[in-house]
Amino acid sequence: MRLSELPAHERPRERLLALGAHVLADAELLAIFLRTGMGGDCALGVARRLLKYTGGLRALLQHPQAAALALPGLGPARWAQLQAALELARRSAGDALAEKQTISSPRDSAAYLRAWLAPLPYEAFVVLFLDQRHRVLVAEELFRGTLNGTSVHPREVVRRVLTHNAAAVIVAHNHPSGDSEPSSPDLALTRLLRDALALIDVRLLDHFIIGAGEPTSLAERGLI
């Protein structure tokens, strides 16, 4: 069945225009992106099949390029468009963060960090370097690992802090497994970074763990 054969109130694009993008299911949003179906299946059917095969939207976005290109209904052109859409979302979140005069709460950076880190199939550790008024000077990925973890060196974090003349930092890393609960090594690293930065009079404002849901703030849990 073609999308045009569905009743108007069931077509993803018409639903988006009438009700807003936030009410659509993942498959409906993906169907709008795909635009056309294949093999006698409409775009919505293809979208549902892709999500079922990969295990959901997050898993699809994390799919390695080579494996993604082999998925029926995706292909190089659609994969490139999907990656471009992801990058637009990241840059939009980054622009919103940059437009803020001051980060009044570490939570102000949560959306940007989630857009940056949540889709990654590997573990990455990033740092937001802030000035004395808690404005973002620069954001950097300092360490990159695998699905099993990454090695973070506090000495390198301190070196980059001095390079940027930062007065405070917010750090974050992702759990590709989707679990945003901090592990024992996460807590130990947080204490190590906090103490190392305190020696040069720089504050660690927060450490976010990015998983499948809302980012976990260690500052909000009183763990910094």
User: What pLDDT digit, counting tens, does each position of 187-204 carry?
Assistant: 999 999 999 999 999 999
Integer CA distances (angstroms), 140 to 33, 67, 85, 116, 171, in order: 30, 28, 21, 11, 10
Whole-number Å distance between alpha carbons of 160 and 26: 39
Q: Where in the chain is the domain with CATH 3.40.140.10?
A: 101-217
* Predicted pLDDT at 66: 85
21: tokens are 């993008």
pLDDT digits (tens, 9 = 90+) for 122-165: 899 999 999 998 888 888 999 988 655 568 899 999 999 999 99
Q: Which mean pLDDT values do the consecutive 10-residue runs of the chain (224 residues) have?
A: 70 89 88 82 88 84 82 86 81 64 72 84 92 89 74 91 96 91 93 96 96 91 92
Can you give the pTM of this predicted structure? 0.65
Q: What is the pLDDT of residue 57?
A: 83
**Superfamily in which the 101-217 domain is placed by CATH:** Cytidine Deaminase, domain 2 (3.40.140.10)
Per-residue confidence (pLDDT) for residue 178, from 0 to 100: 87
Amino acid occupying residue 8: A
